[in-house]
A and B are shown apart, each in its own frame.
Chain A
Amino acid sequence: MEWETVIGLEVHVQLATQTKIFSGASTAYGAEPNTQACAVDLAFPGVLPVLNEKAVEYAVRFGLSIDAEITRRSVFARKNYFYPDLPKGYQISQHDLPTVGKGHMDVQLEDGSIKRIGITRAHLEEDAGKSLHGELSGFSGIDLNRASTPLLEIVSEPDMRSAKEAIAYLKNLHSLVRYLGISDGNMQEGSFRCDVNVSVRPKGQSEFGTRTETKNVNSFRFAERAILYEVDRQISVLEDGGHIRQETRTYDPDLDETRAMRSKENAHDYRYFPDPDLLPLVLSEEYIEAIRAQLPELPWQKCSRYMNDYKLSQYDASYLSSDWDIAQYFETALAHNTEVPPKLLANWIAGDLAATLNKENLNLTESPVSAEQLSQLVLRIHDQTISNNIAKKVFEAIWNKEGNADSIIEKQGLKQITDTGALEKLVDEIITNNPEQVAQYRSGKDKLFSFFVGQAMKATQGKANPQQLNDLIKMKLGA
């Protein structure tokens, strides 16, 4: 039987506020346990939550970027359950009336086609703390630094039909929240993690199959693996005549498998009710419009601008706009030298720069070659000071902190030889010294052309202007 996969994603995005969503404690990552938890986070008797306005602004910013309905009057509820890292015994979360309602995002798939993914809602909530097992003998530790950190939970429609689509959506979403400046998107630190809902159904069937939810997946690769594993597992269960249990699962990256955590029958009754400590959140039209007015250029807007203004291909434009840091780098480099051709610059960013960063395991923000430096290098290729090949050498030198393009070209004497007289003399010498090859070439062995070019480049240590050299050799050999 042919099966169809149905995927919906719930993504928890940690909002980049300075302080927590309901208290004044810092949200900075990596502090000593429990040093960033105040009386409110620790849920001492009598403490009360006060909503962080910045978190609301970030949620609205997100909502507007996905064309969502912004709820004018949203309500915080209490989700009640006991766990040691949940100090109040309830999590404050928007339940019935989230700040961000229905919206959508257009995602570009690998084949270049665009798919619209529905976003059901996005709600504000607080994070829990962390339980530390095995670090203290005979006890479990609790670190409440993360407690009450603001999260925006973004819930998609079950609109994705393959792991690839799901990952494309995730990457788009990740890019978007970084563009909006509402999250650092740091997946290692848990700032962007997702719950993956997967079901399968016979192709052509309209109703959904029973789904499972795989919790807390914190990388694109794990998300893809978890989906692929779940799809295979579900199909084989169904093909063996079994049925899928609605349950919560966890993905184990070491074994590359998902495992059941708890079934629906054992699901908590969270006893949601509106939090009486917080008034309903009422947003005015002016407030929402003020945020709309400050929205930055969004990834898809940048992409089409790059295509229109810089005549870049869709491939290049979407690569450059896919990530806030890349776009920033590209735009900084362009602004540094207005004559730099965007296409050549794009090639260098996507090519040598990306490859070297990848090899050295560095982020673009950690690149030893600054945007300004790359801009100068590309400009020197463009104005024919150096050839593309020599540029690779210069790039390496810049990477190794030997200076910038101009000073390296100067110091190492890498300036291209464009003096026609000198090149002509050189070509004449080569022709004189290699009569055999000349004869063979002239008798039709065209491949030998590169031999002459190679000889000339060897003699000039690659500095000969390739175009000029080609023309000269062609002319001389043709004579």
Chain B
Amino acid sequence: MHHKTLAELSQALKNKEYSSRELTQYFLDRIKQHDTQLNSFITVTEELALKQADLADQRLAKGDAEALTGIPLAQKDIFCTQGVKTSCGSKMLDNFIAPYDATLIRRCNEAGMVMLGKTNMDELAMGSSNETSFYGPVANPWDLERTPGGSSGGSAAAVAAYLTPAATGTDTGGSIRQPAALCGITGLKPTYGRISRYGMTAFASSLDQAGPMARSAEDVALLMNVFAGHDPLDSTSVQKEVPDYTADLKSPLKDLKIGLPKEYFGEGLNPAIAEALEKAKAVFAQQGVQFVDLSLPHTDLALSVYYILAPAECSSNLSRFDGVRYGYRCKDPKDLEDMYCRSRSEAFGEEVKRRILIGTYVLSQGFYDAYYLKAQQVRRLIRDDFTKAFQSVDLILAPTTPTTAFKLKEITDPVSMYLSDIYTLALNLAGLPGLSLPVGFSEGLPIGMQLIGNYFSEATLLKTAHQYQCASDWHLQFPKNF
């Protein structure tokens, strides 16, 4: 069953080639065998997984199985899972057993999927290398000395090493797409509001969006069919019909218009990546795709805007971690103030503290207009750039990252680290969907290509990625030793 896609595994389960329990045990064994090298899981829920697998087998036997019933997956440790530790990669929540299931988890459970465990991540989803995790960094299966990216680094590494056939991620500024690119897998950040945020620990509420991470576009489409949908518990979730994301995968790309924003191909882009994208364009061109040069003139402002708005929201979202009701509380607090200060100082890591401070500063009286308000205005300009672009093209093609996976501990300066999300975070500001898929290698390390769509154009993104994957095999490459 090694290296099978979700569609293949699903078929095999229905054909009774093996049971969900066997399949689940297979991945649990792989995690046991390989994860000491990767550190991609914070918690492995073996007992629960086997129980869920047995339930799935009963459904399969009764014939009331859905497409992904019995399929194992890994959940990013940012989603609340009832009765299971939900740490968010933070010392703050190291002792936190969630008392309820996130909507996404509930949907997976209802679909009969099997949770293998909770994956490692940058602390509270703040980071691009998985190095800010309280549980230590995750290694990239393609080179254990390198980062898998972040913040969904554990999920990306586990999928790349086939410790799980699929995983969830969350993406606030690139946290699904960047690690997907660095680990050579396919990851989708859907339109803001497409997947419920209820039960997903908030980093920056207006930017956060959950999404699937898997080997192929087809697998991602299958997962989207489970994840997407309106949730009355999330006021920002969108009441819009969910299509069958697999329905359109096989349609030809003829006459599809793809835009090439010049701002994404300038200085700072690794030449090997630029070259890989050229080759990918050639593959599309053969399928009748037309390319259009265009400009997204406010692109250079995205990073600054992002690092005002995301910290602003996070500074408020993280206030609930105060040591009062759950989570970490310092020893022997002298008084209330001491309890707040020490609990938070002792439990939050450097990057989280930096963002809380930036966020608190930009929202302060006297600075609000100059920072937060101005950033919201520029955010609108960035969104308008895309809206205008989508009047003339169906999709936009861009690199996912400026470089391939960098070495762990290589980047120590926070701003340099922020730059690794330079091509991804504008989409979050605009609320648009984006997909990263593997399009080659450079010195043994995967290269990701990003496809950006208009609002709710996930089906088009998936179709385009699938057609590319039908004509290429980058997504079928596996790291040695796994």
Contact = CB atoms under 8 A, between A and B. Distances in A.
A82 interface: yes
Contacts of A90: 316, 319
Contact of A44 (B98, B204, B234, B364): B98
A276 interface: yes
Interface stretch (A48-56, A110-118, A188-196, A208-216): A48-56
Interface residues of A, number: 28
A368 interface: no
Looking at A39, A50, A271, the one whose CB has the most chain B CB atoms below 10 A away is: A271
**Secondary structure dominating the interface of A:** loop
A43 B336 contact: no
B364 A269 contact: yes
A279 B236 contact: yes
A42 interface: yes
B325 A89 contact: no
Interface residues of B, number: 43
A45 B88 contact: yes
A429 interface: no
Interface string A253-290: 00000000000000001011100111100000000000
A273 B320 contact: no
Interface in B299-335: 312-313, 315-316, 318-320, 322, 324-326
A87 B232 CA distance: 22
Nearest to B309: A276
A140 to B, nearest CB: 8
A142 to B, nearest CB: 7
Contacts of B118: none
Contact of A89 (B322, B326, B368): B322
Given A44-B326, A48-B198, A80 B363 contact: yes
B424 interface: no
Given A42-B325, A271-B363, A277-B205, A50 B235 contact: yes
B91 interface: no
Contact of A271 (B198, B206, B360): B360
A271 B235 contact: no
B109 to A, nearest CB: 16
A15 to B, nearest CB: 19
A349 B133 CA distance: 72
A271 B364 CA distance: 5
A47 interface: yes
A47 B322 contact: no
Contacts of A444: none
Given A82-B319, A88-B320, A45 B93 contact: yes
B99 interface: yes
B236 A273 contact: no
Contact of A48 (B79, B98, B233, B364): B233
Nearest to A46: B199
Contact of B98 (A45, A80, A88): A45
A42 B322 CA distance: 12
A341 interface: no
A34 to B, nearest CB: 10
B53 interface: no
Contacts of A50: 232-235
Given A45-B96, A46-B80, 4 more contacts: A78-B316, A271-B315, A273-B312, A277-B205
Interface of A: 39, 42-51, 78, 80, 82, 84, 87-90, 142, 269, 271-273, 276-279
